Amino acid sequence: MDERGSDGWYLLAGVLVAAFVAALGGAALADGWQNEARALAACKPASLSCLSLGYPLLFVGVFVAVAAVWLAQRVMGTAEPEWGTLAGLAATTGALLLWEAGQPRWVPPPTDLAALLAGAGVAVGVAVVAAPLPRVLRVVFVVALAVPFAVYPTLSRETRRADLADRLDRVGLPLLVPRADGFAVDSARADPGRRFVHVTVDRKADPRTDLTSEDRGRTVSILVTPVPADFAPPARCGPAAADLPVPDGAPAPSTDPCRPVGPDHWTRTEAGDEVHLLRRNDALVLVQPGWNASDRDAATVADSLTEVAPRRLAELALG
């Protein structure tokens, strides 16, 4: 075998060994992330105390895996192991971002997929750096590495929009936003199982009148839930607004009466705030002032509610 052929076999062996090490590291890290995610999901109520020592160890594990890939190249005599490791890490991260862009929430990839992405990413990165390729091909590879990082925000946002629109549609309740000038949707979430929608709107700051920090960042919550079976205002006015957003909670009927202010429109006082209650067919809508918001802000939102489609609300909430 001539020298050129021998160099080719050494390069192939170095690529395969580095890819194997990367695949082992990717699988181990994914398995660790999955275990920690399951433990966190099972911890009730979720708080910082639910985090175990496994989380910082996983971050350390990333550096260990990267160092192992570099060491494998050094042992196999692969050319420029530092750049090969960097290129392999970039290729693996880009592939992971493309997979995560199709998920509505960031989740650890399956173990076999993580091994495949890490092994293939490192193999491509090491091969392109170590192989005697024309400069133009290396430039093409560098550009290709940047593509996943550039398109990830757009793809991820579209996936989250589609997921939110689907959940909003399945909840089967009117989706309401204010028409009043100066208010914009900040967030929205829906729970089809509990049949509950929570929309948060922000009052935009007016530089002519909002001079202090207390004047800015006003939020109002719009909560939508099915009309309770015992709903009979003004004596029985349904659950308290503060109870509705509680995860996994079964809101108890409020004992506070409400006051009529118009057709299918009532108000009551909760924790010093004036909460508006509106009936929209089979849905009960509660408009509650939040951070820095006044009773007037809540009244403005309550008086200007209009129904939108699930896709439109998802676009307003996620930009």
Please indicate, yes or no, whether residues 307 and 165 belong to a single structural domain of this protein.
no
- Average model confidence (pLDDT) across the chain: 87
Residues whose CB is less than 8 angstroms from the CB of residue 7 and which lie 6 or more positions away in sequence, other chains included: none
Q: Examine the pLDDT at 230 and tell me if it is beyond 90.
A: no
CB 203 within 8 A of CB 220: yes
Please indicate, yes or no, whether residues 81 and 221 belong to a single structural domain of this protein.
no
Please indicate, yes or no, whether residues 240 and 115 belong to a single structural domain of this protein.
no
Domain that holds residue 47: 3-169
CB 125 within 8 A of CB 155: no
What pLDDT is attached to residue 2?
Answer: 41
pTM of the model: 0.82
Q: Examine the pLDDT at 309 and tell me if it is beyond 90.
A: yes
Please indicate, yes or no, whether residues 155 and 208 belong to a single structural domain of this protein.
no
- Neighbour count for residue 175 (Cβ, 10 Å): 25
Please indicate, yes or no, whether residues 142 and 164 belong to a single structural domain of this protein.
yes
Please indicate, yes or no, whether residues 110 and 17 belong to a single structural domain of this protein.
yes
What pLDDT is attached to residue 22?
Answer: 97
Report d(CA 217, CA 239) in Å as an integer: 27
The total of structural domains in the chain comes to 2
What pLDDT is attached to residue 47?
Answer: 63
Where is the domain boundary, 169, 193, 228? 169
Report, as an integer, the average pLDDT of 59-71.
95
Please indicate, yes or no, whether residues 31 and 162 belong to a single structural domain of this protein.
yes
Please indicate, yes or no, whether residues 53 and 164 belong to a single structural domain of this protein.
yes
HSE-CB of 318 using CA atoms within 13 angstroms: 21
What pLDDT is attached to residue 247?
Answer: 55
Where is the domain boundary, 169, 188, 215? 169
Where is the domain boundary, 100, 134, 169? 169
pLDDT tens per residue, range 17-57: 999 999 999 999 999 999 888 887 777 766 666 777 777 88
Starting from the edge strand earliest in sequence, which strands make up the sheet with 273-280, in order? 183-191, 196-203, 218-226, 283-289, 273-280, 265-270, 259-262
Please indicate, yes or no, whether residues 298 and 240 belong to a single structural domain of this protein.
yes
Token look-up 């490791």 returns 85
Report, as an integer, the average pLDDT of 275-284.
94
Region of poorest pLDDT, from 2-16, 106-120, 147-161, 201-215 = 201-215
Please indicate, yes or no, whether residues 151 and 206 belong to a single structural domain of this protein.
no
Please indicate, yes or no, whether residues 190 and 295 belong to a single structural domain of this protein.
yes
Please indicate, yes or no, whether residues 69 and 193 belong to a single structural domain of this protein.
no
